[in-house]
């Protein structure tokens, strides 16, 4: 008597076991030498800014790029189901998806023209 959910349970168990063994194995086989550079925050190749809780300013550029990534990631989440069920949706869904993509494209052009994608 096997449950239809048994393969899913085994899959999740293997994933959790792999993650746990990876984290625990890092302590066993990882390097033991530490230096001060390993404890400094890495911010995409630029010099790290002072921490915000110590009176430093947090660069807004990182948050802008993160929000743009989320916006375009959500767009792809909406496009995949549309592409899968394109044949059965009809003309109305096509028009709606064209309007959705056009709206996101206008936002992309706006951000581009305002310099939101330029790295200083």
Q: What is the rounded CA–CA span in Å between residue 6 and residue 118?
A: 49
Is residue 48 in a domain? no
Three-class SS of 27-45: HHHCCCCCCHHHHCCCECC
The Cα 53–Cα 41 span in angstroms is 14
- By residue count, the chain amounts to 120
Percent of the chain exceeding pLDDT 70 equals 78
Residue 6 lies in a domain: yes
Q: Which residue has the higher pLDDT, 93 or 38?
A: 93
Find tokens 């890092």 and name the residue: 26
Whole-angstrom Cα distance, residue 26 to residue 111? Answer: 41
Asked whether residue 37 is assigned to any structural domain, the reply reads no
For residue 53, what pLDDT is reported?
57
Domain assignment present for 51: no
Whole-prediction pTM: 0.47
Domain that holds residue 21: 1-32
* Residue whose entry in the numeric block shows the structure tokens 């989320």: 70
Domain count, the chain: 2
Residue 44 is assigned to a structural domain of this protein? no
Query: What digits encode the pLDDT tens for the residues 1-12?
Result: 678 899 999 999
Whether residue 45 is contained in a domain is answered as no
74 found inside a domain: yes
Question: Same domain for 63 and 120?
Answer: yes
């Amino acid at each position: 008597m096997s449950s239809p959910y048994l393969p899913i349970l085994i899959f999740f168990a293997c994933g959790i076991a792999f993650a746990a063994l990876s984290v625990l194995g890092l302590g066993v086989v990882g390097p033991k030498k530490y230096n001060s550079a390993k404890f400094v925050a890495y911010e995409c190749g630029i010099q790290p800014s002072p921490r915000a809780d110590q009176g430093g300013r947090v660069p807004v550029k990182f948050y802008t790029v993160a929000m743009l990534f989320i916006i375009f990631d959500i767009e792809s989440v909406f496009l995949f189901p549309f592409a899968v069920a394109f044949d059965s949706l009809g003309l109305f869904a096509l028009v709606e998806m064209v309007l959705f993509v056009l709206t996101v494209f206008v936002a992309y052009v706006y951000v581009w023209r305002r310099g939101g994608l330029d790295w200083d």
